[in-house]
Structure 1
Amino acid sequence: MSGTIIVQQAGNTVVTDLGRFRGPRFGLPVNGALDQYSARAANILVGNDDNSPLLELTALDFRMTTTADLLITVTGAAAELTVGGRSYPQWEPVSVAAGEPVAVRGIRGGLRAYLAVHGSVEVPRLLGSCAPDSVVGFGVRLTGGTALSVQRPVPAFRQPFYDMPLFRLGVQRPASGGEALVDVTDGPDIAEFGDSADLLFSSEYTVSPRSNHIGLRLGGNLPERVTSGEVLSRGVPVGAIEVPSREELLILHRGRGVTAGYPVLAVATSLGLDVLAQARPGDRIRFRATTVTEATAAYRRSMLQLETLRQSVATVFGLLGIHRPAGWQDLPAAACG
């Protein structure tokens, strides 16, 4: 039995996953969900594989209905989630009965929210990924009336007393907003900025309205390059912090091209990129120096947190008879630390 999601108000919403990891070898950006932690958590909370397609809502309100019973969740930036007119918490699985309207409104304290559905949705893929690519014109951007097929409806669950939340499984991570702290490691060209490189850590920067999924543009007190040699185009990582002009910093995000010819002052860490994904125009950004070893340890801690969440979801879904991916049934206790 399958079901259909019918979009009533699309806002600014795309279907995405964790990214096109085979893309860079063919000259395509990796793309994918900009806040990777929130996207992974959303899929885990509804019993999907981490890389399953889900909805990325940017800034604007979203509404939908469904022709079948579903299990959904919303993570990422704070917002008001309602099902059938009733409010429900984010970062928790929520049961939706066929025909009930679902709305995500008032995204705040961040820029992007993620809506995942148990069983995921059916969409085209390019090189193994459904992530949109604005350069080649690929991907699913939702509009009013868009219909998405869901292959694994879940019978509606309702807590029998006062309609209280049935699940309490979430690992909520506060979204950024106002002023964010972003960890960065030294870039390959940091020496070319001499003593002015320290400005990156002592100054405050403001997110420009010209920012997008390709890169964030930041205004503020800029480090200046003290050498004049030409920088040849070369491969650049996601998170590279460049100084292309005297007016702004440019932080390359997941939609960036795979090569560039500007000096790379620093590189945002994986967790730092998640923070930047939630930065709105006008938000203030500060940078903090870290090492590759420290950044790797922090990333591993965040993945362990998600594995703990996965174990909890696997246990509860098993008791309720909800389908789980094959690798979830026998997770070792050690996976939870």
Structure 2
Amino acid sequence: MNGDILIQQPGNSVVTDLGRTRGPRFGLPVNGALDQYSARAANILAGNPDNDPLVEITALDFRMKATEDILIAVTGAPLTLTVGGRPASQWEPVSVRAGETVSIRGIHSGLRAYLAIHGSVEADNLLGSAAPDTVVGFGLQLREGTTLRSRTSVGPVRQPYFDLPLFRLGLERPSMGTDLLVDVTDGPDVAEFGESGDLLFTSEYVVSGRSNHIGLRLGGELPERTSNSEVLSRGVPVGAVEVPSREELLVLHRGRGVTAGYPVLAVVTSTGLDVLAQARPGDKVRFRKTTVAEATAAHRRSRAQLETLRESVNTVFGLLGIGCRPQWQDLPVAACS
């Protein structure tokens, strides 16, 4: 059985997923959830495949009402979560009864939260992704009165004694704060900055209020190119650290265009991009040099942690009789069938 979810206070929220991987070959940004770790974790905690559509909430308060019993999970930045007026926990599955209101308030020590609903929600796709794209005007920006259609309903799952929390799945939550440490590897143009390139690792940078999903703008002491040659427009990766002017660094995020013509001093790692996704204007950022091998190992550790979480969720949901849809590349999970 599916039901409607009524958006009562949208704040700044969109329906998204992990991004449009086919987009760059057609000249479109990959987009998708900026904090990929938190988005994946939310879907796993809700018993969904990683790439199912979910709600990304940026900075502002959010409120919705369910017409059917549902199961949700909220991850990302620290916040106050209530269900039917009762306090509820982040980074855990949470039951919502029909008619209850889910409120997310006071996002702090971070910028973005992720709300996944068991079974996910119905959403249009472009090149296989529900991720919004402002360039072509695609995507679902939530507004007051918007109705989301949930794909399934889950009866209330509550601890029978003293109304204690039911789930303690042991997920290590990323630390967030106003002083951020971000790992980067050398960029293709690092040699053009000479000794000045070391400033990236010895200086502190401040996040500008002009930052967005396309790129973060950072003020501070800037490295300078030793070459005056023109940089032709070419493909640039998500995470490219550019020096477009004498005023700021620019870190390209998931909404970046696929080509650019500025020198690329460094490239932020995938785990570093998750950190920057939670950076608020005024937060301080320091960069730390790492190697491609070290960055790959860190990414694999992160994914392994999420897969361990998935195994725990599948086991618990199976015992409770809650269906889990496995990743498309995996065999069906017998415990959740």
Q: Which residue of 2 aligns with 1:239?
A: 239
Aligned residue type for 2:262:
Y
In 1, the alpha carbon distance for the partners of 2:223 and 2:132 equals: 33
In 2, the alpha carbon distance for the partners of 1:141 and 1:229 equals: 42
Q: Which residue of 2 aligns with 1:45?
A: 45
Aligned residue type for 2:204:
E
Q: Which residue of 1 aligns with 2:229?
A: 229
Q: Which residue of 1 aligns with 2:306?
A: 306
Once the two structures are superposed, what CA deviation does each residue of 1:233-269 show, in whole Å capped at 9, x if it has no partner? 0000000000000000000000000000000000000
Cα 1:14/1:37, change in 2 over 3 Å? same
Once the two structures are superposed, what CA deviation does each residue of 1:300-330 show, in whole Å capped at 9, x if it has no partner? 0000000000000000011111111144754
Q: Which residue of 2 aligns with 1:117?
A: 117
In 1, the alpha carbon distance for the partners of 2:254 and 2:170 equals: 26
User: In 2, are the aligned partners of 1:110 and 1:175 still within 8 Å (CA)?
Assistant: no
User: In 2, are the aligned partners of 1:68 and 1:97 still within 8 Å (CA)?
Assistant: yes
Cα 1:122/1:170, change in 2 over 3 Å? farther
Unaligned runs of 5+ in 2: none
The answer to whether residue 57 in structure 2 is matched with residue 66 in structure 1 is: no
User: In 2, are the aligned partners of 1:314 and 1:328 still within 8 Å (CA)?
Assistant: no
User: In 2, are the aligned partners of 1:177 and 1:280 still within 8 Å (CA)?
Assistant: no
In 1, the alpha carbon distance for the partners of 2:119 and 2:325 equals: 10
Aligned residue type for 2:235:
G
The secondary structure found in structure 1 opposite 2:255 is coil
User: In 2, are the aligned partners of 1:193 and 1:224 still within 8 Å (CA)?
Assistant: yes
* TM-score calculated relative to the size of structure 2: 0.97
In 2, the alpha carbon distance for the partners of 1:328 and 1:241 equals: 40
Q: Which residue of 1 aligns with 2:159?
A: 159
In 2, the alpha carbon distance for the partners of 1:111 and 1:53 equals: 19
In 1, the alpha carbon distance for the partners of 2:235 and 2:180 equals: 28
The answer to whether residue 92 in structure 2 is matched with residue 92 in structure 1 is: yes
How far residue 174 of structure 1 moved from its aligned partner, in angstroms, is 3.1
Unaligned runs of 5+ in 1: 332-337
Q: Which residue of 1 aligns with 2:266?
A: 266
Cα 1:131/1:170, change in 2 over 3 Å? farther
The answer to whether residue 193 in structure 2 is matched with residue 201 in structure 1 is: no
Aligned residue type for 1:90:
Q
In 2, the alpha carbon distance for the partners of 1:168 and 1:115 equals: 18
Q: Which residue of 2 aligns with 1:133?
A: 133
User: In 2, are the aligned partners of 1:92 and 1:170 still within 8 Å (CA)?
Assistant: no
User: In 2, are the aligned partners of 1:44 and 1:50 still within 8 Å (CA)?
Assistant: yes
Q: Which residue of 2 aligns with 1:315?
A: 315
Q: Which residue of 2 aligns with 1:335?
A: none
In 1, the alpha carbon distance for the partners of 2:213 and 2:21 equals: 16
User: In 2, are the aligned partners of 1:77 and 1:278 still within 8 Å (CA)?
Assistant: yes
How far residue 2 of structure 1 moved from its aligned partner, in angstroms, is 1.1
In 2, the alpha carbon distance for the partners of 1:229 and 1:55 equals: 44
Q: Which residue of 1 aligns with 2:218?
A: 218
The secondary structure found in structure 1 opposite 2:241 is strand
How far residue 158 of structure 1 moved from its aligned partner, in angstroms, is 1.6
Q: Which residue of 1 aligns with 2:294?
A: 294
How far residue 161 of structure 1 moved from its aligned partner, in angstroms, is 1.5
Q: Which residue of 2 aligns with 1:56?
A: 56
In 1, the alpha carbon distance for the partners of 2:331 and 2:32 equals: 24
In 2, the alpha carbon distance for the partners of 1:26 and 1:242 equals: 23
Deviant stretches of 4+, over 6 Å: none
User: In 2, are the aligned partners of 1:91 and 1:172 still within 8 Å (CA)?
Assistant: no
